[in-house]
Copies of this chain bind each other. A is one copy, B any other.
């Protein structure tokens, strides 16, 4: 697709290198806080990127110096949004039905990041609260700037996080005692702490250097066989949710077709010849 296919009000989508897309949340004056049109945007973007043959790796970041995102725009949410306390619906069951549908839609848009067939690298910086964790637990690789201030903020506003954090953190292989502590207390944690427990893979001096590292990672991913890279993402996500036996069976069925690619020969030959391979679009 052409870059012009990615015009969205609240996001900048750019292509800093061949096969590498960068998605930037763009509401810096509001600390990139999210309201409903934004998560609809986000879902639409990642569904497009998922099948775009010109994209092999994606970087997710936020505009401005102060925040990756401060999370849900609570003001917007309480005025007609998810957290508004309309008394029109007196019946607890009918209200529950509305809430259920609303949460489902919200989850679906955020989950589009995880379901995207291409690997996604999250670059966190500054304030990274609430939805920042929901969104980046959907990403494959998380790195951050030294100044990042993380928090699973939801209990602070009276609710259990329902857009993904509580479902994905226990499967991110970070220690459960720590997960419980930060989710139950809503306290901030630093970049160093995030690295120590494994929530991020690396910490960088600034947002700029973190983005540099992300671009380097993105280029590396984009230089490999897309058959191999996208298969690796899919199978790791599948295996996370299934037993080892089910995982072994799945990769077996997956590779029954995926090994029928010229990429294997091309990659091996390039390896022997010490040159870079090029791979067809996928």
Partner-B contacts on A (CB < 8 A): 51, 74, 78, 82-83, 85, 90-97, 99-101, 103-104, 107, 111, 114, 119, 140-142, 154-162, 164, 166-181, 183-187, 197-201, 217, 220-221, 224-225, 227-229, 231-236, 239-245, 247-248, 250-268, 271, 277, 279-280, 282
Task: Give 4 new A-B contacts, CB below 8 A, not counting A92-B96, A162-B251.
Answer: A93-B261, A111-B248, A162-B252, A177-B201
Say whether A96 contacts B167, CB under 8 Å.
Answer: no
> How distant is A143 from chain B, measured CB to nearest CB, in Å?
8
Among the listed B99, B198, B254, which residue makes an inter-chain contact with A260, where contact means beta carbons less than 8 Å apart? B99
Q: A199 CA to B141 CA in the complex, in Å?
A: 17
Q: A96-B258, A119-B184, A255-B162 are in contact. Are A171 and B233 (CB under 8 A)?
A: no
> How distant is A105 from chain B, measured CB to nearest CB, in Å?
10
Q: Please give, as numbers and ranges, the residues of chain B lying within 8 Å of A225 by CB-CB distance.
A: 155, 158-159
Say whether B96 contacts A256, CB under 8 Å.
Answer: yes
Chain A to chain B contacts (Cβ below 8 Å), 21 pairs: A83-B259, A83-B264, A85-B264, A91-B260, A92-B95, A93-B257, A155-B225, A157-B271, A158-B261, A160-B231, A160-B235, A160-B255, A161-B232, A161-B251, A162-B255, A166-B239, A170-B171, A171-B239, A172-B176, A179-B236, A184-B232
> How distant is A127 from chain B, measured CB to nearest CB, in Å?
15
Q: A228 CA to B166 CA in the complex, in Å?
A: 12
Among the listed B159, B171, B198, B255, which residue makes an inter-chain contact with A255, where contact means beta carbons less than 8 Å apart? B159
Among the listed B140, B181, B243, which residue makes an inter-chain contact with A201, where contact means beta carbons less than 8 Å apart? B181
Q: Please give, as numbers and ranges, the residues of chain B lying within 8 Å of A262 by CB-CB distance.
A: 90-91
Q: A198 CA to B119 CA in the complex, in Å?
A: 24
Q: Please give, as numbers and ranges, the residues of chain B lying within 8 Å of A158 by CB-CB distance.
A: 224-225, 227-228, 261, 263-268, 277, 279
Say whether B247 contacts A245, CB under 8 Å.
Answer: no
Say whether B198 contacts A175, CB under 8 Å.
Answer: yes
Say whether B245 contacts A170, CB under 8 Å.
Answer: no
Q: Please give, as numbers and ranges, the residues of chain B lying within 8 Å of A264 by CB-CB distance.
A: 83, 85, 157-159
Among the listed B159, B239, B244, B254, which residue makes an inter-chain contact with A258, where contact means beta carbons less than 8 Å apart? B159
Q: Please give, as numbers and ranges, the residues of chain B lying within 8 Å of A160 by CB-CB distance.
A: 227-228, 231-232, 234-235, 251, 254-255, 258
Among the listed B99, B140, B178, B221, which residue makes an inter-chain contact with A256, where contact means beta carbons less than 8 Å apart? B99
Say whether A175 contacts B176, CB under 8 Å.
Answer: no
> How distant is A126 from chain B, measured CB to nearest CB, in Å?
19
